[in-house]
Amino acid sequence: MGVKSRITLAIAVATISTSVLLGPAWAETATQATTEQSAQSQQFASTVYNGYRASRLLGSAVFSLKGEYLGAVRNVTLADDGQIESLLVEGFRTKDEPEFISRIPFNRVLRPLHEGAIVANFSDLRSREYGLFVDPDQAQAEPHEFSVSKVIGDYARLQAGQGYGYVSDLVFDSGGKLAAVVISREASVGGGTYAFPYPGQTGRWSPKLSYYGLPYVTADQANKAGLRLDMKEFQNS
């Protein structure tokens, strides 16, 4: 293991002594999503600058409670209301077995999250419990879900279909619920990066579409409704 890996491992292990594993009821006590509030509110701004960014969660190393390296986060699945459901983790290759992908329920992850080094309450990613696909008999009961890779990288469009920008990131609140969609604009229209509250339900927008739809008719309306980010502060947060 290289120096960088050992440092990451040390950070992850250190978090164990101060982190508390939350049970299945964690979603009931999580901070209420700010998506119903104005993008100009102080609470929304605080969430955007202090929340968990999808771009930093992706690629994060995952460790067991014992400090064992288990793999890296390759994707994150969300429920229709934006709540993180699970992490898709790529397990490492061993001498006897190839690399593989597992699906880890988010309620197995210790909070607060430490982007880059995530600690989870499990040890064997190869267990069938962490398989990618649900039992066919239970599939009908599964809620609609989508992955962050379906949103990040999409073009953002206004109500009439005009292009507005590019979805460059997503921000989650302390409970793991999608709070903001971050959209960057091109130089020809003045540039800038704006954060918009996630509406809480996908509603008229569907992850199956090839773009992310904003509920505004004109770009000027969207600019006024969104929170224009101080990118230096955002990058350093």
Q: Which tens digit of pLDDT belongs to each residue from 97-149?
A: 666 678 888 988 988 888 788 998 876 655 555 555 655 555 555 557 899 99
Could you give all domains of the chain from N- to C-terminal order, each with its CATH number? 3-23+53-145 (2.30.30.240), 148-236 (2.30.30.240)
pLDDT at 3: 33
- Residues 6 or more apart from 152 whose CB is under 8 A from it? 54, 55, 167, 168, 169, 170
Question: How confident is the model over 2-55, as pLDDT tens digits?
Answer: 434 533 443 444 444 334 333 333 333 333 333 345 788 999 999 999 999 999
Does the pLDDT of residue 155 top 80, yes or no? yes
pLDDT at 113: 83
- Residues 6 or more apart from 31 whose CB is under 8 A from it? 173, 174, 175, 177
pLDDT at 35: 38
Exposed, middle or buried by CB within 10 Å (0-12, 13-18, 19+), for 221? middle
Residues 110, 119 contacting (CB under 8 angstroms): yes
Q: What count of other Cβ atoms lies within 10 Å of the Cβ of residue 39? A: 19
pTM for the predicted model, two decimal places:
0.76
Question: How confident is the model over 41-50, as pLDDT tens digits?
Answer: 999 999 999 9
The CA dihedral of 39, 43, 46, 52, to the nearest 10 degrees, is: -80
Average pLDDT, the chain: 78
